[in-house]
Amino acid sequence: MSRIGKNAVPVPAGVDVQISGNEVSVKGKLGQLKTMIVPEMTVSKGDKGIAVKPREMTKRSRQLWGLSRSLVRNMVQGVTQGYAERLEIQGVGYKAAVEGSNLKLDLGFSHSVLYPIPAGIKIVCEKPTSIAVSGIDRQLVGQVAAEIRGYKKPEPYKGKGIRYANESVRRKEGKKK
């Protein structure tokens, strides 16, 4: 038994869930999300919420049971509350700014890095050294934050680069004389 998968996903008031076959569509105050659940699962809406069950107990269906339930839960939470990821920039002269539909990053290269902001994502720079990525799709928010961080990962000697707000960078001792 999957400990995560056997629990039903509660549906808050104001959220509309449509299930047709293995396609689940969730609509809320922040937007609408749609996903296909693997064919090994059945999705149904009941009194307690959305239930995800395997068609038959095989090894693969047990592996995908908790994942399928988590995908549905992430969609419900995304259309009600949304997701956000915070990034911090550390380093002399390193900064970020939103220009139109692009995020402009000055990271010590000979040129500025322009990152096109995808549809469904909102990026805000309160300060030149902090970036807030938000949206309703959890996977897309995490992917965008990881791509931005990938331009200049924090290095272990001085700690310069882009890091998550809650990330701690292990520092190394420099060369001794």
Is 37 inside a domain boundary?
yes
Q: How far apart are CA 156 and CA 173, in angstroms?
A: 9
Residue type, 127: K
Please give the model's pTM, rounded to 2 decimal places. 0.88
Q: How far apart are CA 85 and CA 102, in angstroms?
A: 18
Last residue of a domain, one of 40, 62, 80: 80
Overall average pLDDT of the 65-90 stretch: 94
Is 5 inside a domain boundary?
no
Is 177 inside a domain boundary?
no
Q: How far apart are CA 177 and CA 172, in angstroms?
A: 16
Last residue of a domain, one of 42, 63, 80: 80
The single-letter DSSP state of residue 90 is E
What CATH number did the domain enclosing 89 receive?
3.90.930.12
Last residue of a domain, one of 80, 100, 135: 80
Q: What is the pLDDT of residues 12-66, one digit of tens each?
A: 998 999 999 889 999 999 999 999 999 999 999 988 899 999 999 999 998 999 9
Beta strand extents in the chain (DSSP E only): 16-20, 23-27, 32-36, 41-45, 50-54, 83-90, 95-99, 102-106, 113-116, 121-124, 130-135, 161-164
Query: Same domain, yes or no, for 108 and 121?
Result: yes
Is 170 inside a domain boundary?
no
Per-residue pLDDT band for 1 (boundaries 50, 70, 90) equals low
| 33 SS3 class | strand
Is 99 inside a domain boundary?
yes
DSSP 14-26: T-EEEEETTEEEE
State the pLDDT at residue 3.
Answer: 82
Query: Same domain, yes or no, for 148 and 99?
Result: yes
Say if residue 112's pLDDT is above 90: yes
Domain that holds residue 71: 16-80
Say if residue 174's pLDDT is above 90: no
Query: Same domain, yes or no, for 156 and 88?
Result: yes
Residue 20 in contact with residue 84, Cβ under 8 Å?
no
Q: How far apart are CA 77 and CA 136, in angstroms?
A: 8
Is 9 inside a domain boundary?
no
The total of structural domains in the chain comes to 2
